[in-house]
Amino acid sequence: MSFHRLPLSLLLLLLLLLLALLPPSYSQVCQRFCGDIPLRYPFGGGPGCGDPRFTKYVSCNQRQLIFTTHTGSYVVTNIDYPNAIIYILDPTMSTCLCAQPSKGFSLDWDAPFSFDDSSVFALLDCSLDSSPIYKGAVGGNTSNVPQCANSGTALCSSLYTCQPISQLDVPISTCCVYVPVDLGPAFEMDLEKLQCKAYTAVYSFEGDPEAWKYGVALKYKFNVKNDYPQYCGNCEKSNGACAYTGIYNSFVCNCPSGVNTTTDCYFQASWNHGSMSKACKKISSIPFPQRIVVTPWGERDG
């Protein structure tokens, strides 16, 4: 058969069929959930998914979402996507149910996170004599060190109604509250340097301290203007997951089948729901030249 004699329309249909039969560019399928927590941009749960700036800080490990900094790994308890807040829990911090020593908590200075206004840190069992968190403690030079908040007295009083904290057997004056949280340009809370033995973090503290929401609330930003990328929104609307690939971390839309596209996953839905079958029907409906069969009785159509 000579291809140059075929009609152009038939050649185009054959080409479409050939392209459809070629193996598509597949990759891993980005997770939509990690445990019970839904994963949406900028989080992806693993390399190649979500926003590359967030990948090294938030990952899914055995169905548990983990937040990592240079000081340790912390469990993500919830993500508030409308308000762009992630909530984490430090296993070494004290709560109303448990008092324990801790080294503190820190953020990486270049991480796309900052403390939400709802976050409150209470430092516990701090030295009254030389701790730099108290005014005038180190030669009177405390201009670069956050001071105890006057509004923290009520919070400290409530904490001391918790049996584990009351059993520390230290005066309530050794409790110091950071509000709003400001750890300086290094984003570092070194309890050993501050001469405090423990801390707790809460982001909701109304009523019974046993029912407070313990943990750290962190704001995250998509970019400088904090605008949700439109291309990513279109991808998620088509049931895709925002991802990235290549040495330049270029955006791709990861579809449920594992196919990566540069736009969205709508094409895949239309292709699977009839486009392919229509193309086949068109090819099958094209009249092919009839076959001539020669018999002893003469020629007849095949």
Position 293 scores a pLDDT of 44
Position 15 scores a pLDDT of 58
Position 147 scores a pLDDT of 60
pLDDT less than 70: residues of the chain? 1-27, 130, 134-147, 149-151, 268-302
The pTM is what?
A: 0.75
Position 284 scores a pLDDT of 38
Position 45 scores a pLDDT of 86
Q: For residue 260, is it within any domain? A: yes
Position 268 scores a pLDDT of 65
Q: State the total domains in the chain.
A: 2
Position 22 scores a pLDDT of 40
Pair (237, 185) in one structural domain: no
Domain boundary among 160, 193, 220: 220
Position 100 scores a pLDDT of 95
Pair (68, 1) in one structural domain: yes
Q: For residue 198, is it within any domain? A: yes
Beta carbons within 10 angstroms of residue 175's beta carbon: 26
Pair (90, 207) in one structural domain: yes
Using alpha carbons, list the distances in angstroms from residue 149 to 108, 141, 146, 273.
Answer: 25, 18, 9, 62
Position 290 scores a pLDDT of 46
Pair (63, 31) in one structural domain: yes
Nearest-angstrom CA–CA distance, 187 and 210: 28
Read off the tokens for 201.
Answer: 């973090």
Q: Mention every residue, 6+ apart, whose C-beta is less than 8 A from residue 41.
A: 50, 51, 222, 228, 229, 232, 236, 241, 242
Q: Mention every residue, 6+ apart, whose C-beta is less than 8 A from residue 285.
A: none
Q: For residue 80, is it within any domain? A: no
Domain boundary among 166, 194, 220: 220
Pair (50, 90) in one structural domain: no
Domain boundary among 166, 193, 220: 220
Q: What is the span of the domain harbouring residue 9?
A: 1-75+224-302
